[in-house]
Structure 1
Amino acid sequence: MTQLVARLVLSMLLLPLTGTLIVLSMLALAATGAGQPPILGLAAMWVVVYSFIGAYWIGVWRAVVRWTDSRRRQTAGAAALALAAGTLLATIIASAGAPVQFGMLIGGAVPPTLWVLATVLAWRETKQERIERLRAIGTGGVACPLCGYNMTGLREARCPECGASFTLDEFALMCSENRAEAARSGGGV
């Protein structure tokens, strides 16, 4: 199993692991004997759940994300915005007459969902980072002339990323033109 496949499997396990943590936390809150879970208990549960999700998600992807200052800011900003969205939803639900605990349960589920989605977008590899990564492992590769997707090893001249289709002579011509342009600009390919 490759490291990427292992990371994907571990990422998929985040949902059932988090669900298990929430169920165990709710059972612990129910064991207090109160009719409804205590507000501070729910808040503590969400702190534990958010900490687990953040540590787990960053732990799985830490080694493959290029941690720039921008990505760090986007990750922290996404956490703040996700918490604000969850708090807003909980407040709306509670102000509509529902018990505060119900608002906390529903609103509390929003931040981890939004944060994980935002990190997927913020942590994506840029075209330049992909080129540098391929160079570092000694794979110059053949890139799609339109979107830059690495087409090394494909059996046809159709890019799976952007869907562009080329005849072999068009593909060879466009690749050589791109290489010549990159050499002139000092970028190399």
Structure 2
Amino acid sequence: MTEDARFPGLLEHIEQRLGPVQRVESAKTAAGNRGYDLTFYENDQPPVTTVVTNGLRFQAITSMLPEEIMCSLRSDQQHIAMYLVDSMASLILKNKQGMEYGSVFENSKPLIEGTKITALVGHTNLIHDVGFNLFPGHDAPKLQLITMVPITGYEVDFIKEEGPDMLFEVFRDNRTNILDVQRESAV
């Protein structure tokens, strides 16, 4: 992720929580420019990889604020985090509609083969402090950082009945490891 004059301090804001950039997959691919880089961050304790878009904020999409999306998973599931972020960012660009906190992207089949994960819910980041989600801060935010959390079909149904905040209460109460796509449903 490189510094941009329109969002000064963004790289420092992200690196302060996620650590230094480990690698970047360029927006430029054999098929052309997809409109965003994929930036990889790694934490040792706990061993977590976070993949963040870089450039989605400059695209012509409808959202409350310009946004970048991310997904944090166990380090051995880095390829899955990359797949989820890239797939969702592509859908956002295709539909010209951003993701918001609490919004659910649901699929009829598992998003990841061999798992029960059928959806993603947009949420504030659960690993880092609340100040991480809005940049440069809550008083006059210019950018939102939306964390995508992989969820099961039963959890989607629960959100429809109780709302996303209640699901995250269940996650906390049950100490659900939302960083592992191989997990069982929390409801």
Larger helix percent = 1
Task: State which structure, 1 or 2, has the greater radius of gyration over its C-alpha atoms.
Answer: 1
Alignment TM class, shorter chain as reference = under 0.3
TM-score scaled by length of structure 1: 0.22
State the TM-score, normalizing by the size of structure 2: 0.22
